[in-house]
Structure 1
Amino acid sequence: MLKKLFATVLMSFSAAAFAVPFGSQSVLVVEDDTGKILLEKNADRVVPIASLTKLMTAMVVLDAKQDMDELIEIDRSDVDTFKHSSSRVPVGALISRRDVLQLALMSSDNRAAAALARTFPGGTDGFKAAVKRKISALGMTQTVIEEPTGLSPRNRSTAGDLVKMAAASSKYAVITNMTTDSKNLININGREVEYRNTNRLVGAKGWDIGLSKTGYTSEAGRCLIMNITAAGKNATMVLLNAGASSARILDALNVRRFIAGEQAPVRVAKASNRAPRFKAASKRGSIKASANRAGIKASAGNAKLKTVKKRGKVKVTPKRRKK
């Protein structure tokens, strides 16, 4: 029986599989309209998520329905004393909550994210409680978020959980609009200062992006969440722990080419002949909220069978900006 099952799995993979080289250590690509898994690599591995955290920060802030025009003063307590990351947002600046949110999402500014949590109803404790409730509501069972910036390596999740976060984030027009601005002018102490998106693919020729968020810390590596449209198909990608920005971009290119059905993927620069690869199966089961059966997948780099954990179906319906 096991031999027959193993043969069936191998046949389904060999019939429609497409080898895709990836530099990211965890990858998950899901078709938005159906929840079907298109590409997967270590999607259940719990890892630090860096500034991908800020999508959760934004959702919680928007859920609180605070006055977006209220001016927030950037406080010295908002300065990063953990990683000592840089910021172009000066202490003492008075900035509207709307612009602070845009700085956190588009430019991934850590002071801005910290200020949003500090001025949340109930302060940082109220913010943490709200994040915990949101994580539970979204069914992100493998996720822990302890602070709003992503600087802490204790902010951890899986690619599978982060697809759920992307699905939820894409329902907020404010988030989709802010994360897909390639640049914007923010009033800082009476002076217009230009800030740019940390994702160089936003606004680039050939890219139709409906949601975007990058992340980086030494523990998390280079991370990326994006909703994209390619060849008329909508999909969400989660890339975690790439070794360099160039590797992250090449991974995103490979995903787009795969979705578009192109047969010649961009090759990832690799240090050895044993760079990790994985295959995408066209007959994978969709993620279902009430799934009562275990799926089978071929593990990357070997021929062993692996039981897939039960997952909830994710359907992403990103709200895209008007062109």
Structure 2
Amino acid sequence: MTIRDTVIRTLAHTNWRLALPALVLTCGSLIVQAASEDPEVVVPTASPTTAAINPAGVVTPAPGTAADAASGVVKAPIAAVAPPTAPQAPAPVDEPLMKLPVNARHMLVIDDTGRVLMAKDADTVVPIASLTKLMTAMVVLDAGQDMNEEIRIEDADVDRLKHSRSRVRVGATMTREAALELALISSENRAASALARHFPGGLAAYEAAVAAKIRALGLTHTSLADPTGLSPANTSTAAEVARIAAAAARYPAIARISSDKSSAVEINGRPRELRNTNHLVGAKGWDIRLSKTGYTEEAGRCLAMRMKSGGQTITVILLDADGSAQRLRDAAAIRKSLAKIAAA
């Protein structure tokens, strides 16, 4: 029924003086209803939050509400009485990107200025699986050991927690550099474990170095219990994984190795071909500068990646996606949206 029909029917059956208050209320209600059902009516959203990256690669996100982060959509703030403040220039709003749905339960996308382009529950502490290996690689390189020194895979490196498969047998020998490539490209757990065991001073010294690195990067919600990421006690947030990725990118060896589509290393003196666990590396149209995938049952499918888009370096963190295909689709959707923004 239109507003006009409602007015005529009301006047026809009621004394117009008595009907006037009800008529005003009816018209107002119908007008509000019509506006709410109009697809062209747009509710403005708040500007995206911003973050800063300091020279150490630390990303400090701006404050936001947990509810907004969990929804993955930036919401308009609820109006409240507050003292007047000086006007501030709003950060650019990119509606297509801000409303992009992703499967991953936790996500963060930031540009090379530290501006948060997209976030979804980015401050919740969750397992991060093999993204841990970025921290392992940094700590190993910080120790300044001989990368050509041979190390040996021992029984202590066998995964007895998740019983994950390995391409490296107990007793195998390789250089420290080869073990680093195995850990970063193929996400080989035994190689990561061996790197930690052969750390100067052993595992205890390795664990102390990791704790010091966590403090140095200002990670207050990150806890790493082992060098592989197999333990569900290896936890962090999407926001802090972005800090880890930014810091890892400052190591040329990590950036080079993790962005290789494939590589060949010698194990027991024989060449072994490795392929990157991130199938987007080396794919047409992708310019990936750092990458690490992860998976455990508790963590789901995870990805930490830095890539070039529109002349900028974009960091993409995806945690707890439902599967490898979903993780790839999330990354592809983000890249497509970034390309549209750059072309606009």
Task: State whether TM-score is above 0.5.
Answer: yes
User: Are 2:174 and 2:269, in contact at CA under 8 Å, matched by a contact in 1?
Assistant: no
More helix by share: 2
In 1, Cα distance between the equivalents of 2:280 and 2:309?
A: 14
Of 305, 325, 333, which residue of structure 2 is paired with 1:246? 325
How far off its partner does 1:16 sit? 3.9
Residue in 2 that maps onto 1:278: none
- Residue-pair matches, total: 257
Q: CA deviation at 1:14?
A: 11
1:94-148 Cα deviation digits (max 9, x unpaired): 1000000110011000000000011111111111110000000001110000110
Measured on the aligned residues, the alpha-carbon RMSD in Å equals: 2.0
Match of 1:223 in 2: 302
Change (3 A) 1:21 1:187: same
1:195 to 262, 274, 295: 274
1:58 corresponds in structure 2 to 137
Aligned to 2:79, the other structure's residue is in SS state: helix
Give structure 2 stretches of 5+ with no counterpart: 1-76, 83-89
Counting only pairs closer than 5 Å after superposition, residues 72-87 of structure 1 correspond to structure 2 as 72-87=151-166
**Distance between the aligned counterparts of 1:179 and 1:14, measured in 2?**
32
1:3 pairs with one of 63, 67, 79: 79
In 1, the alpha carbon distance for the partners of 2:247 and 2:93 equals 34
Residue 132 of structure 1 pairs with residue 211 of structure 2: yes
- Which amino acid in the other structure matches residue 111 of structure 2? E
Residues 212-234 of structure 1: CA distance to partner in whole angstroms, max 9, x if unpaired? Answer: 00000000000000101122222
Please tell me whether residue 31 in structure 1 is matched to residue 111 in structure 2: yes
1:22 to 80, 83, 102: 102
Residue pair 1:209, 1:228 contacting (<8 A) in 2 also: yes
Pick the aligned partner of 1:236 from 291, 310, 315: 315
SS of the counterpart of 2:307? strand
In the TM superposition, residue 262 of structure 1 has moved relative to its aligned partner by 5.8
Given the alignment, which residue of 233, 237, 244 partners 1:158? 237
Match of 2:7 in 1: none
Give the Å deviation of 1:24.
0.2
Question: Which AA in structure 1 matches 2:108?
Answer: L
Once the two structures are TM-superposed, the CA of residue 62 in structure 1 deviates from its matched residue by: 0.2
Distance across 1 between alignment mates of 2:272 and 2:164: 19
> Any unmatched runs of 5+ in structure 1?
7-11, 264-323
| Cα offset, 1:241, TM superposition | 0.2
Match of 2:57 in 1: none
Return 252-261 or 201-210, whichever deviates more. 252-261
| Alpha carbons of structure 1 residues 15 and 200: separation in structure 2 relative to 1, 3 Å | closer
Hey, what does 2:262 align to over in structure 1? Answer: 183
CA 1:38–1:71: 2 relative to 1, 3 Å: same
Cα offsets for 1:266-312 (capped at 9, x unmatched): xxxxxxxxxxxxxxxxxxxxxxxxxxxxxxxxxxxxxxxxxxxxxxx
Tell which deviates more after alignment, 119-128 or 185-194: 185-194
CA distance in structure 1 between the partners assigned to 2:260 and 2:93 by the alignment:
40
Question: CA-to-partner distance for each residue in 1:44-86, whole Å, 9 max, x for gaps?
Answer: 0100000000000000000000110100011111111110001
Provide the C-alpha distance between the structure 2 equivalents of 1:186 and 1:231, rounded to a whole number of angstroms.
Answer: 34
Q: Post-superposition shift, 1:192?
A: 1.1
1:115 paired to 2:194: yes
TM-score by length of 2: 0.72
Displacement of 1:21 in angstroms is 1.2
> Percentage identity across aligned positions?
53
Judge conservation of contact 2:157–2:194 (CA < 8 Å) in 1.
yes
* 1:205-263 superposed Cα distances (whole Å, 9 cap, x missing partner): 00000000000000000000010112222210100000000000011011111211269
Residue in structure 1 matched with residue 43 of structure 2 by the alignment: none
Q: Which of the two has higher C-alpha Rg? A: 2
